[in-house]
Structure 1
Amino acid sequence: MQHPPTHNGAPKSVGVIGAGFAGMAAGAILANEGHDVTIFEKNATIGGRARTFSEMGFTFDMGPSWYWMPDVYERFFARFGRSVADLYQLQQLDPGFAVVFADNEVVDIPADFDELCRLFEQIETGAGDKLRRFIADGAFKYHVGMDEMVYKPGHSITEFISLRLFGQALRLQLFSSFSKHARRFFKDPRLLALIEFPVLFLGAMPKDTPALYSLMNYSGLKQGTFYPMGGFGKVADTFRDIARQAGVRFRTSEAIEKLETSNGRVRHIHTAGRSVPTDVVIGSADYQHIERALLPSRDRHYKDSYWAERTFAPSCLLFYLGVSKRIARMRHHNLFFDQDFGLHAEEIYQRKMWPTAPLFYVCCPSVTDPSVAPEGHENLFILMPIATDLPDPEPIREHYYQLLMDRLEKFAGETIRDHVVLKRSYCVSDFKNDYNACQGNAYGLANTLRQTAIFKPKLKSPKVSNLFFAGQLTVPGPGVPPAIISGTIAAHEVLKYLNS
């Protein structure tokens, strides 16, 4: 759906680095405003970390697998006169996910919130009513955050100084610890584990994360956990199709080698095969890579020491497994919290070492979606959060594969390894090679107070006037919905720049 352009004068040429969700969102909005947009992608396929691969009748999502914050997708599609229902089939999961504790105790998280409150009450007396209050608090943060905070570019603190936000600052709990906040409501370690897991997997240690992020619990436990039939690759394809319909050109397998600048502006984008003049560049690939590898030193804002001092969200060791039988006990999302949460978090964020007794996550989308595996087979995606920048040779990967499979088979009560017909691993060095990811991170910067909103890397280059950034290292942070929001903010900032 092509809108009439609202910009002043002739269309401008915009080069976007990276065809992940942030880059495609930004490109689609700018092309829909009449600008000439090209997205350059170093890999052969679009989607960024949400790429897929298919082999032997299996289709694997390589990255994102949790569909939360459904309103963010709807808000984006509405810009183009579309809705999720027009584009792909969204299935609410019930249970939303399962948590496996010691001695193979399984807690299924029901989709119905009243049922969830009853479950909390069974585990800890009084916890049902406390969950209602906890989630109501998260809902407040979510709606204030989505309406008034996350779509701001993070240039300056003045963006957040409104009478309304100032009056609500205490309720938003930007300066309170998530860990302390959760413990005001719950005592049972099982309840704390399922409340804190989004923080461990996406951010930082709960004690270092602002209590603001209980908004994630509202999304996961009250809005619900969903699955796009066909997998996240279908969502990435939808963004590509919307961008193409708006006029975006995609150049895959075309890595950018240099941004040529003069007088504080990018003049040309250089790839292996061409030099492309440009009016604006949006860097939705790794921020540090763009500055360090593509820009001349005079135009870099952040020094190497800056990145070395950041707290990154985890990297991860992933296994994609095709299994030649069904596994009766598997749910769609399975979180293994049968080991010490605190120790694993400490080894990720403080000691920066391979974990002693890791927590891990197993996604089995073939429970919900028969299209992702041959009939009678299972599609398994196993993720173990780890520290960034660890060496990951094959013997280490194999050691953890055997360790995780021991625990998975114990839970399943049946052999799995003997039925694995397809196996592929992915780890720190792959994130570096495929995405130029700083320190091999998987999720960007941790959601600590010192790395929230205005404290994140700047969305607009302070040194190059027509260079903007988007993606998980900028506002608002890691995850697919934040990436979509980031691309939206970047596009709006480019429009302001072009119309000024």
Structure 2
Amino acid sequence: MRKKIIIIGSGFSSLAASCYLAKAGYEVQIFEKNPTVGGRARQLKKDGFTFDIGPTWYWMPDVFERFFNDFNKKPSDFYSLTKMDPAYQVFFGDGTSISIPSNLEAIYAEFEKEEKGSSEKLRKFIDRARDNYDIAIKDLVYRPGISPLELVSPATAMRLGRFFSNISSEVRKEFKNPKLRQILEFPVLFLGAKPSDTPAFYSFMNYADFGLGTWHPQGGMYKVIEGIRDLAVSLGVKIEVNAPVEEILTENKKAKGVKVHGKEYFCDIVLSGADYHHSERLLPSALRQYSEKYWDSRIFAPSSLLFYVGFDTKLKNVSHHSLFFDSSFEKHAHDIYDAPKWPEDPLFYASFPSITDNSSAPQGKEAGIFLIPLAPDLEDTPEIREHYFNLIINRFEKLTSQEVKSKIAFKESFCVNDFKEAYNSYKGNAYGMANTLFQTAFLRPKLKSKKVAGLYFTGQLTVPGPGVPPSLISGKLAAGLIEKNEKN
């Protein structure tokens, strides 16, 4: 008789794990608290506009290819990709902007225009980043974080210094131009920590950025979720939405099922892709591995204030992905990590998917997503949200030389309180736990419970860390550990 696995949540990691487990012969059922699958990668549809609520960047296409290849499929079997050119545009306080082209030679030329001699330095920097990528993404991140020995190999031993230096010092050692420094430090923000707290080894994100490029799935990132969901269903996975798990059932320190809407569902193994802290709160306190003190001592990735805006006209002078670095990077980072508070003058990101994708907005109109990174657990009120929208939209108008406030058909917002309510997110974080040196690999919360037999975890609070590609990998790691440990 086949063993049954219940999975809590339907984000990237949960859906990926469900595919691997179903392929391995398990009976798999997913319970999702929200009305649609996808976890944080859901959609908002309004008045003919479509917005990705969560992730909007498609990086590391090789990770997606490797996932689908495991099932003899290709991404193109499920969605169509467009390589972005420019990949993104960065706006600065002096009124200038730099666009990042879609190929390395053009990027080298762009750097040289800003700082004489920087193109050759960038070549060497990217060579090291590619080397790190080959070690990290093709090998290390596919290890389950059980032992520190997973990080020990001739390749890592030769590059030990890259773990104890940091991104910021490596960048600033080579590049003097502040604009180029900010561009090179930007990608590690996806890892949820300051560049000065992120090991230099993580420069592989710069290779992901410049070397592999930025892509867009036509129809948005939700098309990727739909593709993995369709794959899961084709493998026999059953998915139930509007089904919040209220309790993980145990007997003699062994997981035996879950409770949903007061009804008990029994199984052999439980895998939670929900927020790790919340997942453990579904257990009796004696069976939780990590205390509140533990969670409070961790460095969490930022939360976010997001706006989804429908404009009734096409916008000018912006790219699909636009970064607004017209205020102090260091001051904003201080307000997130060092002395958490609402930032006085935040950096922000804007995405206009309708520039690339006609399905995102009605003809002649523009869909805009604006994001301000924030410290987790801040006070969140409608008045605060409105203040920050006005702040960034005024700067946006100035930097892009256009008036847009009168062109707004509607706007919706999403912030700390929504992350808590929609995803049971610890302190309302948006990206999980930061990948700092002491929160990497085996130092992250474990995939397998130490206190409850048959209970496993997946997602961005465990290995390998935050981001969409790591979440896919996390699903594979959790499934592999279940297969290894639960054979009998």
TM-score band (shorter)?
over 0.9
Q: Secondary structure at the match of 2:464?
A: coil
- State the alpha-carbon separation in 2 of the partners of residues 88 and 494 from structure 1: 30
2:316 maps to what in 1?
328
- State the alpha-carbon separation in 2 of the partners of residues 447 and 196 from structure 1: 15
Pair 1:439 & 2:427 matched? yes
Root-mean-square deviation (CA, aligned residues, Å) is 1.0
1:189 maps to what in 2?
178
1:429 maps to what in 2?
417
1:220 maps to what in 2?
209
Residue 450 of structure 1 aligns to which amino acid in structure 2? F
Pair 1:32 & 2:23 matched? yes
1:406 maps to what in 2?
394
Pair 1:70 & 2:58 matched? no
Pair 1:170 & 2:160 matched? yes
Residue 38 of structure 1 aligns to which amino acid in structure 2? Q
- State the alpha-carbon separation in 2 of the partners of residues 394 and 202 from structure 1: 29
Residue 122 of structure 1 aligns to which amino acid in structure 2? K
Q: Deviations over 1:385-427 (max 9, x none)?
A: 0100001100000000000000111122222111111210000
Residue 455 of structure 1 aligns to which amino acid in structure 2? L
* Structure 2 contact 332–346 (Cα < 8 Å) conserved: yes
* Structure 1 contact 327–412 (Cα < 8 Å) conserved: no
Displacement of 1:81 after TM fit?
A: 1.0
- State the alpha-carbon separation in 1 of the partners of residues 386 and 399 from structure 2: 20
Displacement of 1:484 after TM fit?
A: 0.2
Displacement of 1:180 after TM fit?
A: 0.7
Residue 427 of structure 2 aligns to which amino acid in structure 1? Q
User: For 1:248, which of 237, 254, 266 is the aligned residue?
Assistant: 237
Q: Secondary structure at the match of 1:191?
A: helix
* Structure 1 contact 23–470 (Cα < 8 Å) conserved: yes
Pair 1:463 & 2:454 matched? no
Gaps of 5+ in 2: none
* Structure 2 contact 83–213 (Cα < 8 Å) conserved: yes
- State the alpha-carbon separation in 2 of the partners of residues 116 and 228 from structure 1: 23
- State the alpha-carbon separation in 1 of the partners of residues 377 and 31 from structure 2: 26
1:179 maps to what in 2?
168
- State the alpha-carbon separation in 1 of the partners of residues 379 and 137 from structure 2: 38
- State the alpha-carbon separation in 1 of the partners of residues 467 and 130 from structure 2: 19
Q: Secondary structure at the match of 2:164?
A: coil
Pair 1:54 & 2:45 matched? yes
1:7 maps to what in 2?
none
- State the alpha-carbon separation in 1 of the partners of residues 437 and 231 from structure 2: 35
- State the alpha-carbon separation in 1 of the partners of residues 280 and 479 from structure 2: 20
1:120 maps to what in 2?
111
Q: Deviations over 1:220-268 (max 9, x none)?
A: 1111110001000101100100000011000100000011112221112
* Structure 1 contact 469–490 (Cα < 8 Å) conserved: yes
Q: Secondary structure at the match of 2:300?
A: coil
4+ aligned runs moved over 4 Å, structure 1:
none
Q: Secondary structure at the match of 1:281?
A: strand
Displacement of 1:84 after TM fit?
A: 1.4
Residue 18 of structure 2 aligns to which amino acid in structure 1? G
Displacement of 1:273 after TM fit?
A: 4.6
1:6 maps to what in 2?
none
TM score, norm. by length of structure 1:
0.96
User: For 1:392, which of 367, 373, 380 is the aligned residue?
Assistant: 380
- State the alpha-carbon separation in 2 of the partners of residues 111 and 268 from structure 1: 48
- State the alpha-carbon separation in 2 of the partners of residues 239 and 422 from structure 1: 31
Q: Secondary structure at the match of 2:249?
A: strand
Residue 295 of structure 2 aligns to which amino acid in structure 1? W
Q: Secondary structure at the match of 1:331?
A: coil
Residue 333 of structure 1 aligns to which amino acid in structure 2? H
Q: Secondary structure at the match of 1:237?
A: helix
* Structure 2 contact 192–433 (Cα < 8 Å) conserved: yes
* Structure 1 contact 202–314 (Cα < 8 Å) conserved: no
Number of residue pairs the alignment of both structures matches:
488
Q: Secondary structure at the match of 2:203?
A: helix
Q: Secondary structure at the match of 2:30?
A: strand
Residue 80 of structure 2 aligns to which amino acid in structure 1? Q
Residue 488 of structure 1 aligns to which amino acid in structure 2? K
* Structure 1 contact 267–278 (Cα < 8 Å) conserved: yes
Residue 402 of structure 2 aligns to which amino acid in structure 1? E
1:21 maps to what in 2?
12
- State the alpha-carbon separation in 2 of the partners of residues 185 and 48 from structure 1: 40
Residue 366 of structure 2 aligns to which amino acid in structure 1? E
User: For 1:486, which of 474, 477, 483 is the aligned residue?
Assistant: 474
Displacement of 1:201 after TM fit?
A: 4.8
Displacement of 1:21 after TM fit?
A: 0.3
Q: Secondary structure at the match of 1:325?
A: coil
- State the alpha-carbon separation in 2 of the partners of residues 34 and 418 from structure 1: 57
User: For 1:142, which of 124, 133, 148 is the aligned residue?
Assistant: 133
Paired residues for 1:76-87 under 5 Å: 76-87=67-78
Pair 1:233 & 2:237 matched? no
Residue 309 of structure 1 aligns to which amino acid in structure 2? S
- State the alpha-carbon separation in 1 of the partners of residues 175 and 271 from structure 2: 44
Displacement of 1:297 after TM fit?
A: 1.0
User: For 1:259, which of 248, 251, 254 is the aligned residue?
Assistant: 248
Displacement of 1:166 after TM fit?
A: 4.6
- State the alpha-carbon separation in 1 of the partners of residues 434 and 150 from structure 2: 22
- State the alpha-carbon separation in 1 of the partners of residues 192 and 447 from structure 2: 20
Pair 1:12 & 2:3 matched? yes
Q: Secondary structure at the match of 2:313?
A: coil
Q: Secondary structure at the match of 2:163?
A: coil
- State the alpha-carbon separation in 2 of the partners of residues 363 and 20 from structure 1: 22
- State the alpha-carbon separation in 2 of the partners of residues 340 and 52 from structure 1: 32
Residue 467 of structure 1 aligns to which amino acid in structure 2? L
User: For 1:373, which of 340, 344, 361 is the aligned residue?
Assistant: 361
2:122 maps to what in 1?
131
Q: Secondary structure at the match of 2:243?
A: coil
* Structure 1 contact 201–385 (Cα < 8 Å) conserved: no
Displacement of 1:168 after TM fit?
A: 2.8
Gaps of 5+ in 1: 1-9
- State the alpha-carbon separation in 2 of the partners of residues 271 and 98 from structure 1: 46
Pair 1:453 & 2:444 matched? no
Q: Deviations over 1:288-320 (max 9, x none)?
A: 00112x101111010000000000010000000
User: For 2:460, which of 455, 468, 472 is the aligned residue?
Assistant: 472
- State the alpha-carbon separation in 2 of the partners of residues 16 and 169 from structure 1: 38
User: For 2:188, which of 180, 184, 199 is the aligned residue?
Assistant: 199
Q: Deviations over 1:51-101 (max 9, x none)?
A: 002110001100101110000000000111111122211000000000000
* Structure 2 contact 89–100 (Cα < 8 Å) conserved: yes
- State the alpha-carbon separation in 2 of the partners of residues 336 and 260 from structure 1: 47
Pair 1:295 & 2:286 matched? no
- State the alpha-carbon separation in 1 of the partners of residues 134 and 95 from structure 2: 37
